[in-house]
Amino acid sequence: MKIAMITGSYPPNVCGVGDYTERLMSSLEQRGHSVEVITGGGWGLSDAPAVLKRINACGADIVHLQYPTVGYGRKLGPQLIALVERGVVTIHEASQTHVLRRLSLFPLLSSRHVVFTNFFERDYVGGFAPWVRERSSIIPIGSNLPVGRLASERRLNEVIYFGLIRPAKGLEQVLDAARILKQRIPGMMVRIVGLTLKEHETYLEVLRRASADLPVVWDLGLSDQEAANLMANAAIAYVPFPDGASERRGSLLALLTNGVATVTTRGVQTPSALDHVVEFAASPIDAVAILEALRKDGLRRGTLSEEGIRYATRFSWPDIADQHIRLYESIITKRRIGSA
Q: How far apart are CA 146 and CA 144, in angstroms?
A: 7
Residues whose CB is less than 8 angstroms from the CB of residue 177 and which lie 6 or more positions away in sequence, other chains included: 159, 190, 238, 284, 287, 288, 291
Question: Do 155-315 and 2-142+316-339 fall under one CATH topology?
Answer: yes
**At a CB cut-off of 8 Å and minimum separation 6, what does 283 contact?**
173
Task: Convert 75-101 to b/e letters by CB count within 10 Å (16 or more is b).
Answer: bebbbbbbeebebbbbbbbbeeeeeee
Tell me: domain 2-142+316-339, CATH 3.40.50.2000, correct?
A: yes
CB 290 within 8 A of CB 238: no
Each of the 340 residues of the chain gets a pLDDT tens digit; together they read 999 999 999 999 989 999 999 999 999 999 999 999 999 889 999 999 999 999 999 999 999 999 999 999 999 999 999 999 999 999 999 987 667 677 889 999 999 999 999 999 999 999 999 999 999 999 999 998 999 998 888 999 999 999 999 999 999 999 999 999 999 999 999 999 999 988 999 999 999 999 999 999 999 999 999 999 999 999 999 999 999 999 989 999 999 999 999 999 999 999 999 999 999 999 999 999 999 999 999 999 999 999 999 999 999 999 999 999 999 999 999 888 876 5
Contact residues for 35 (Cβ-Cβ < 8 A; gap 6+): 2, 3, 4, 5, 25, 28, 29
Stated pTM of the model: 0.89
CATH topology of domain 155-315: Rossmann fold (3.40.50)
Burial class (CB in 10 A: 0-12, 13-18, 19+), 247: buried
> Residue ranges per domain, the chain?
2-142+316-339, 155-315
